[in-house]
Every structure is written in structure tokens, then in C-alpha cells.
Amino acid sequence: MMPYQSDATIIVIGDCSSEAQTLRLIVENLGCKTDFNPTGNPTDFLAVLNSVPASCRVVIICAHGDANGLVFGEFFPEVDASLLIQGSLPARHLRLAPTAATGRIIFTTACETGTAAFARTFLDAGAAAFLAPADFPDGEDIVLFIHALLYQVLNRKQPLPRTWDRLNDAGLNTGLMSLSRRLGPEKAEN
């Protein structure tokens, strides 16, 4: 018997379970085996993010966001919240293993996470692409956009840049999401 291998991992922060369950059904309907991981604090979140199976092609982080980062909220004093700034985890505090995102498409549904700092964090960990909202879109729009993009990339085997352009041309991404992607292997300096 072959070991279970996931094609997608969904990580949930806070009260985003409805959005996350919807995305889980969509991703599974597209034929992906899916790991579903509710997390309660930054330590759990980072542990899950750094242990995504190598077979996983897509990671979706379902969360709320604000100007400080991924919103976790307040905790009892017994819970380590030292990475948080006013209840949120900023990109500079994401402690990712150097290959934690290797070759993956990373989405976050959290508002205001489509920043250069978040993109660089995931691209430096090897992500093929990072997609996130730059401002405050409606959550339903994010779910529909992710569905449309993954349908093209996973089922129709279309390249991500072409799919991105087609969704923009069709008006499905009117400033909704930002895309940052790896353009090729890193060049070594001599």
C-alpha cells in the first residue's frame, strides 16, 4: 500500500473555517488529495507550514489579515505569542525552513498580505508563486478566483502566467490578488 500523499494543504487560522471548508471542497473536486489543518497559535501554524508533505503542489492559508500581517488575535499569557505584533504575525516573523515551499503555489486569503515582504518570505523558501490580496476584497471573490485559477492550472494543465493573464483579461482579478513568482533558478554570483 502506498503512503498517503497530499496534492494540497489548507491551513486555517482563526475563524475562517467556512471559507476553508469551501476551498477544501473545491480543491478536492478538482481531484486533489487534501490535508486540512486548523491551527490555533503561531507556533502550531509554523509547525504545519514547515511540515507540508513534499508531494504537495498547492498551499492555501485561510486567515484574516491586517496591516501587521496574519491575524491570530489575543491569547492567554500561557500561550507563546511573542512573534505577534498587536495580535498579528508579520512576514518578518515567519520562520520558514529554506525549502518549506519548494515548487509550490502558495495562496493566502488574508487581506493585506499581498505585499513584497510576504512574497519574498515564501519565494525565498522556494515557492514557485505566491498569490495574496493586496487590500480588502470580499472573501467570496477570493474563493471564486482561487477556484478559477486552480481549475486552469491543475485540471487544464495551463501555465500559471498564462492563466493569470487570462483571468485578468476576463475581469476576474480586478485588483483582487497580487502575483509574485519565481522566474527561474537563482543565479550564483562569481
Chain segment 100-149, per-residue pLDDT in tens = 899 999 999 999 999 999 999 999 999 999 999 989 988 889 999 999 99
Q: Which domain holds residue 87?
A: 8-181
pLDDT in tens, 10-55: 999 998 989 999 999 999 999 999 999 999 899 999 999 999 998 8
| CATH code, domain with 76 | 3.40.50.1460
pTM: 0.91
pLDDT of the residue at 189: 27
DSSP 121: H
Residue among 32, 59, 34, 37 at smallest CA distance from 48: 37
C-alpha 30/C-alpha 34 separation (Å) is: 11
For residue 82, the tally of other CB atoms under 10 A from its CB is: 8
Q: Stretch 140-164: mean pLDDT, rounded? A: 93
Angle at CA of residue 70, ends 65 and 76, nearest 5° = 115
Element (H, E) at 17: helix 17-29
pLDDT of the residue at 138: 84
Q: Is 59 helix (H, G, I), strand (E, B) or coil?
A: strand
What's the whole-number average pLDDT of the chain?
89
Q: How many CA atoms, within 13 angstroms, populate the side-chain half-sphere of residue 130?
A: 22
Whether residue 188 lies inside any domain: the answer is no
Whether residue 20 lies inside any domain: the answer is yes
Domain count, the chain: 1
